[in-house]
Chains A and B, each alone.
Chain A
Amino acid sequence: MLVCGGTGCHSAGSQTLIASLKQEIERQGLSKEIQVVQTGCNGFCAVGPVALVQPEGIFYQQLSVEDVPEIVSEHFLKGKPIERLMYKDPTTKKVIPIMSEIPFFAHQMFWAMRNKGIIDPEQIEDYIGRDGYLGVAKALFEMTPEQIIQEVKVSGIRGRGGAGFPTGLKWEFASKSPGDIKYVVCNADEGDPGAFMDRSILEADPHSVLEGMTIAARAINSHQGYIYCRTEYPLAIHRLTIAIQQARAYGLLGKNILGSGFDFDIEIYEGAGAFVCGEETALMRSIEGKRGMPRPRPPYPVHKGLWEKPTVLNNVETLANIPQIILQGGEWYASVGIGKSRGTKVFAISGDVNNIGLVEIPMGATLRSMIFDIGGGIPNKKKFKAVQLGGPSGGCVPEQYLDTPVDYEAIAQVGAIMGSGGVIVMDEDTCMVDMARFFMDFIQDESCGKCTPCREGTRRLLEILRKICDGHGTTEDLKALEELSYTIKDTALCGLGQTGPNPVLSTLNYFRDEYLAHIYEKRCPAKRCVALLKFEVNPEICTKCGMCFKGCPAEAIIWQKKEVARINKEKCIKCMTCFERCKFGAIF
């Protein structure tokens, strides 16, 4: 029985579940037949804690300690799987017992996450059993650094952190850069709201990242690596620390790796969680012990990086792909994909979607298939409105562009970015102006303050957006938003500022009518902006059900059976409870 021990399931109680399972299996005398394994993130975080029973492939969800005796005595002892704990399709209500047949898993393709849910991330032997460290062995004994770089170039893999720079090319630049001391840095400073890809990979398969880094080190002849991980990821850091200790003990890190004479070691550097430190130059400054602020590029890190030495800086997901590229060859990796985007991409789907979780799909699959086939569509029979790709640095994609394939260029064409893989799905109840305001609030908060366009500009953008949400917007505001956005994009120092106005521009592009409604009609079409709501009941729509009355915490609603509800504005605290309670949209 493989029980998920990722952060999601961990916080839903998988630890006590595992302890209780082991105890019950022992008690019923099955400890020789049933092994309970704690794995990394399974991906289906929405229904955690989850577990997979092999060899049958039965998937259990939302487990609790109370279910344990039944699972052990009925399923393990008598071979009768328990239907009530299985996945039910939200639309057809049909029970799907086998994991690989659940749509959420069936449409995925596990490459970067090939070991997720299979290995125990705290056991190096498990990783080796899945061909782990064979990539390093091949890179050290059978390949020259040039051949390694060539293989990575052939694979066509591009930076999975979001910018999409070809990884092989980056390594080539760093290897040709003069100097005896070079560094390999892993960027695990994942900070976008709604993104948890890197965390899950580190928790589920930390050795793949260590192996990827060692191969990169061999390619550029570096002997020291750093993993920059935010301190807010305690479980990832815990498992990385164990992984590094185990790899050192086996001689897979440190001096003379596998007896090849090649030395490479890795240290974890814990960051304090500033968004800007995901930017490569700021990240390296932070490792150097200085305040995490970006500097202009060039010089690029491959020429002058950490401590002014040539440095390769790759994202977690990129590095996790490397061992298999070396082992199976670049052409194998390039066999999947579309155009200049090869291989697979991991996304973290969240927001207004049925199946929240982690998914990996081949490049070229459409956004629609990701959100509706894997994500299971929008809950509560609501309509899809837009999807935000790339977090606060990205843009939104409305319904009409949902058939855009997952491809760096195609996504950029519709005004969003691939980003590191955060996917926030929004239903019809989302106000796009409010959404832009939320992300701008985040950006201005995270702006490091070094350059004026970002420090001052994002704050002014936020002020204007707040003004519009509060119902004081004017015609000039729209023009100012656009002008300011383009100026910031053109003049900001680093990626944070250059991409920060994207949510504003993309919502202005696709949802200008909502901005206009806020400004001219003083109306919020999605009924989200509190200042623009009247808190009145439309007697024609009201069904006199009294749901609003029962929910109001301030006793501001006047209602009797068979009577239309009214709101006492003096008592109303504008908490929005009645809006959420009313199923008919009678309150405006």
Chain B
Amino acid sequence: MQKLTVQDLHIIREKAAKRIALRCNPGKIKVTVHMGDCGIAAGAREVMVSLMNEWNQTDRDDIRIFAGGCIGKCSTEPNVTVEIIGEKAVTYQKVSPDTIRQIFKKHVLMGEIQKDMIMAGN
């Protein structure tokens, strides 16, 4: 293995810090995929996989992804809730592996709520 310089040390630190941040700080943005049995049947699993892939491509360490329980709106599933700390939580309905990418890139990363996909009455 190569001997480190101080710069190398900082590079390793940056890389590892993102990985470890998940274990110790609560993050600023909560994305919950609602995964009751009904949600999973409607495709929540695929949405989760797609979301994880998107998240893995960014270097943001303030985003936390949760698997949540059913919220009781089985007809609009899969449902995904995005909560930026300090703001009102927004729940999206009928999310697909494609639309979750849009939600992630626009709302989670840039803070633009995707109004056309919001759950009715939210």
Contact = CB atoms under 8 A, between A and B. Distances in A.
Contact of A119 (B20, B27, B37, B66): B20
Contacts of B20: 118-119, 126, 129-130
Q: How large is the interface on A (under 10, 10 to 19, 20 to 34, 35 or more residues)?
A: 20 to 34
B35 A77 contact: yes
Contact of B69 (A80, A137, A252): A80
A144 B13 CA distance: 24
B19 A137 contact: no
A267 interface: no
B24 to A, nearest CB: 5
Interface string A101-137: 0000000000000000011000001101111111001
Given A141-B6, A251-B4, A259-B5, A78 B67 contact: yes
Contacts of A252: 4
Given A32-B52, A54-B22, A249 B1 contact: yes
B12 interface: yes
A216 B26 CA distance: 34
Interface in A1-51: 2, 32-33, 37
Interface in A226-269: 249-252, 256, 258-259
Given A79-B67, A129-B19, A250 B35 contact: no
B40 interface: yes
Interface in B49-66: 49, 52, 64-66
Nearest to B56: A32
A33 to B, nearest CB: 5
A133 B49 CA distance: 35
A128 B13 CA distance: 5
A449 B41 CA distance: 75
A482 B103 CA distance: 77
A128 B12 contact: yes
A585 interface: no
A239 B88 CA distance: 46
Interface of A: 2, 32-33, 37, 54-57, 75-80, 118-119, 125-126, 128-134, 137, 141, 249-252, 256, 258-259
Given A119-B20, A128-B12, 9 more contacts: A33-B52, A55-B64, A55-B65, A75-B67, A79-B66, A79-B68, A118-B24, A129-B17, A131-B13
